[in-house]
A and B are shown apart, each in its own frame.
Chain A
Amino acid sequence: MNTGSRFLFVVPPLAGHVNPAGAVARVLLARGHDVAWTGPESALRRMLGDGVTVYPTGMRPYGGQRDRGARALKSLWEGFVAPFARFTRPAVARAVAAYRPDVVAVDQHAIAGALVATANGLPWASLAPQSMELTEPLRALPRVDAWIRATLAGLWCEAGLPAHEYVDPRFSPHLVLGFTTPALTGPAPFPPHYALVGPALDHDRPAGPDFPWAALDPRHRLVLVTMGTLAEDVAREFYPRLMAALAPLGGQVQAVVTAAPHTVPDPPPNVLVVPRAPFLELLPRVGAVVCHAGLNTVSEALTYGVPLVMAPIKHDQPVTAAQVVAAGAGVRVRFGRSGPAELRAALTEVLDAPTYRAAAARVAESFASAGGAAAAATRLEHLALRA
């Protein structure tokens, strides 16, 4: 007899959002539940594998990927979150009608899921895979915050939902799953229906192409570099400065850079550029991670107690970087302007001063006790039983 529940995940086609959701979904499947996805099909299959059930929403091109700062925040909402919600809502409604889920798990930037679940009277959970939509740092900018809230209220009304029943579609009144812990967010007083479960890492994520393990020199300290999946084009201007920072450290430090090889021209001999790397397998032997402070990358590094040098580019990345700095587990550099000397100083500081690794270990402990994907799955199961 199948006593499992049915969970529908609604996500945008972005690795930083899909990966933690995928880890939670894998736990639910292992516990005998049924899981389906709705979103842009080819992108979801690329990240989740071919075995998953997907109700496709289609995909349109969204711009603004090169923007930074306030301009990036504007293009995120005006150019992606709002039009993605409008464009996908009919398809998400069809997915709910066809799949008949017990619970809808909605990424905070896949607003259509919250609107459709509410319209159908279904319990729904918010998935918060990034820092911006959990501690609400934009409350410090009241007019920016109000503009985002007005955008969301507009989407609510367009969906035909009654204005007097409005709830912020980023924050489910039933359950908000944050993939972080108070070791990073600080002791913010979250409501009881918020569960900070820590990172949901997918240790069974499909492996990439063969990694040249033999090229690693165990006598050197290993540094892992990734600037994320969204910024490949923008990161080109950063790599030459980073290469110049790394070159004089040859003989002591070896770096693995995950990037399209043509974006990192002429790497020095102590730098290995690979399109993809088995991050979780490498991390136990890594001394420091250099990254853009995307929450997924930061979480992976800190799960293994690895300190960070962070060059945040946009969106929630400066927020995440500030949290890591406050926790003592890394230093922040300037993506747009830090030169080779500044980058090299930051890297050697993090590699040499034991306080960073000790602080990263403390964050790792908080992650381990928060429960991760298994704890998130348990909270979703409870929500299904309450329905």
Chain B
Amino acid sequence: MDGALIRELAGLLRAVTGEDEAWAAAITAASRLEDDLGLESGELAAWGDAVRVRYGVDVVGYVTGLDLDQIIALTVGDVAALVPR
């Protein structure tokens, strides 16, 4: 997994949540959006917008194609994997 990309995605998460630097620094590829980061639907939409603007990847569209267990298990690394190298 691209460590620099994970840090960038963590930075965008920090921006949409208003959390602090320590919170963002603890984010890894394995961090689950729901259980670990407590992302609410509005925050997911805002993060999805930010990711789309920077990388041209449609996170929200990707999530709408998942089943419940996949949504529950969704990690920052799963989203990183959508970004073309």
A contact set with B: CB distance below 8 Å: 68-71, 73-74, 140-144, 147, 312, 318, 332, 334-337, 339, 342
Residue of A70, A143, A342 with most chain B CB atoms under a 10 A cut-off: A70
Could you say which residues of chain A place their CB within 8 Å of the CB of B71? 70, 141, 144
For residue B34, CB closer than 8 A to chain A, the reply is yes
Residue of A68, A142, A334 with most chain B CB atoms under a 10 A cut-off: A334
Residue of A nearest to B41 (CB): A318
Contact yes or no, A332 B67, CB < 8 A: no
For residue B66, CB closer than 8 A to chain A, the reply is yes
Contact yes or no, A144 B40, CB < 8 A: no
Q: Which of B40, B41, B67 contacts A143 (CB 8 A)?
A: B67
Q: Which of B18, B34, B43, B67 contacts A71 (CB 8 A)?
A: B34
Could you say which residues of chain A place their CB within 8 Å of the CB of B43? 334, 337
Could you say which residues of chain B place their CB within 8 Å of the CB of A71? 34-35, 72
Contact yes or no, B66 A143, CB < 8 A: yes
Would you list the 3 A-B pairs with minimal beta carbon distance, nearest first? A143-B67, A70-B71, A69-B34
For residue B84, CB closer than 8 A to chain A, the reply is no
**Additional 6 contacts, C-beta under 8 A, given A142-B64, A337-B43:** A69-B41, A141-B63, A143-B68, A337-B19, A337-B38, A342-B18
Contact yes or no, A339 B18, CB < 8 A: yes
On whether A69 and B40 interact (CB within 8 A), knowing A337-B18, A339-B18, the answer reads yes
Cα(A342)–Cα(B64), bound, Å: 29
On whether A332 and B42 interact (CB within 8 A), knowing A69-B34, A70-B34, A339-B18, the answer reads yes
For residue B17, CB closer than 8 A to chain A, the reply is yes
On whether A70 and B38 interact (CB within 8 A), knowing A334-B43, A337-B17, A339-B18, the answer reads no
On whether A143 and B65 interact (CB within 8 A), knowing A70-B72, A71-B35, the answer reads yes
Contact yes or no, A74 B42, CB < 8 A: no
B contact set with A: CB distance below 8 Å: 17-19, 34-35, 38-43, 63-69, 71-72
Main SS of the interface on chain A?
Answer: helix
Give the Cβ gap from B44 to chain A, nearest Cβ, in Å. Answer: 9
On whether A337 and B67 interact (CB within 8 A), knowing A69-B34, A71-B34, the answer reads no
Could you say which residues of chain B place their CB within 8 Å of the CB of A68? 34, 38
Contact yes or no, A334 B68, CB < 8 A: no
Residue of B34, B67, B68 with most chain A CB atoms under a 10 A cut-off: B68
On whether A147 and B64 interact (CB within 8 A), knowing A334-B43, A337-B18, the answer reads no
Contact yes or no, B19 A142, CB < 8 A: no
Could you say which residues of chain A place their CB within 8 Å of the CB of B18? 337, 339, 342
Could you say which residues of chain A place their CB within 8 Å of the CB of B35? 71
Could you say which residues of chain B place their CB within 8 Å of the CB of A143? 65-68
Could you say which residues of chain B place their CB within 8 Å of the CB of A335? 40
Cα(A370)–Cα(B64), bound, Å: 34
> Can you give 19 contacting A-B residue pairs, CB < 8 Å?
A68-B38, A69-B39, A69-B41, A69-B72, A70-B34, A71-B34, A71-B72, A74-B69, A74-B72, A140-B64, A141-B63, A143-B67, A144-B67, A318-B40, A334-B40, A334-B43, A337-B18, A337-B40, A337-B43
Give the Cβ gap from B20 to chain A, nearest Cβ, in Å. Answer: 11
Residue of A nearest to B60 (CB): A140
Could you say which residues of chain B place their CB within 8 Å of the CB of A140? 64
Could you say which residues of chain A place their CB within 8 Å of the CB of B40? 69, 312, 318, 334-337
Contact yes or no, B42 A144, CB < 8 A: no
Cα(A334)–Cα(B63), bound, Å: 21
Could you say which residues of chain B place their CB within 8 Å of the CB of A334? 40, 42-43
Residue of B nearest to A70 (CB): B71
Cα(A143)–Cα(B39), bound, Å: 21
Could you say which residues of chain B place their CB within 8 Å of the CB of A339? 18
Give the Cβ gap from B57 to chain A, nearest Cβ, in Å. Answer: 19
Cα(A19)–Cα(B47), bound, Å: 38
On whether A147 and B68 interact (CB within 8 A), knowing A69-B40, A71-B34, A337-B38, the answer reads yes
Could you say which residues of chain B place their CB within 8 Å of the CB of A312? 40
Cα(A218)–Cα(B62), bound, Å: 52
